[in-house]
Amino acid sequence: MSRQLDLVVQGLLGTNPIISRTPSGRLFCYFRVATAPSFRVEGSWREGPTVWFTAKAWGHLAENFARSLHKGDPVVLVGRFSQDAWESDRGQHVTNVLTVSCGGHDLTRGESRFMRVSRAAQSARTAPSAQSMQSAPADAGPATASGAAAPTTASADDARGPDGPASAAAGVADASGMAADPLTDAHWETARDESVAPPDPVPSDPLTYTVRDEALV
């Protein structure tokens, strides 16, 4: 009997995606997402407390996120919900985690453009290289300050999307000649072991950190 809890999260990116590799060479990325439920009160809409998630993805999906998403973008993500417990000098904390199986821009908020990339092109550009093992530069931006525990195991569910059954669509005419430029050093973060430091604790008053602020927690 499955105890998996799948969620659909509609929100805004609080950080740029950070992409890295485990020591075994497996590609992954993570980023922060904020969502605030809306509800109607006396004929007007109000926004509830902001809820933060650390989103994680594996393989080609991870690279596509890193190439396509940026801090502040509205997104819709589908994935498995879990919670990571961790400790700091300020005590014990729990982080909401979404292991994403598919997702993209929220087209109720704007426009987007799709570019198909062949499986061969994706495999070539995601192959381990010296670049992927280099540390991100010091001025890579605030995204590196809000990392979360990197996923340590991967299942078939983790590889859905371009890595899984959906890859059957790769037989359709592709844009292998239009493959995007390689990811720059600013996208990468060295993974010295199977984990990355967790994010800073979420403040006790989440209302202070609204989606509109896009403030990092």
- Model confidence pLDDT, tens digit, residues 115-157: 887 666 556 565 655 444 444 333 333 333 334 444 444 443 4
Domain residue extents for the chain? 6-208
Task: Give the tens place of pLDDT for each residue, 64-103.
Answer: 999 999 999 999 999 999 999 989 899 999 999 999 999 9
pLDDT for the residue 115: 87
Look-up: residue for tokens 């590609």? Answer: 27
Query: Would you say domain 6-208 falls under CATH 3.30.365.10?
Result: no
Determine the pLDDT at residue 5.
86
Count of C-beta atoms within a 10 Å radius of residue 114: 8
C-alpha angle 10-13-19 in degrees, rounded to nearest 5: 120
Q: pLDDT grade, residue 212 (50/70/90)?
A: very low
pLDDT of residue 141: 37
Mean pLDDT, all residues of the chain? 68
User: Do 9 and 33 form a contact (C-beta atoms < 8 A)?
Assistant: yes
Total H helices, total E strands in the chain: 2, 8
Q: Region 152-164: what's the mean pLDDT?
A: 38
Three-class DSSP category at 139: coil
CA dist 159 and 141 (Å) reads: 28
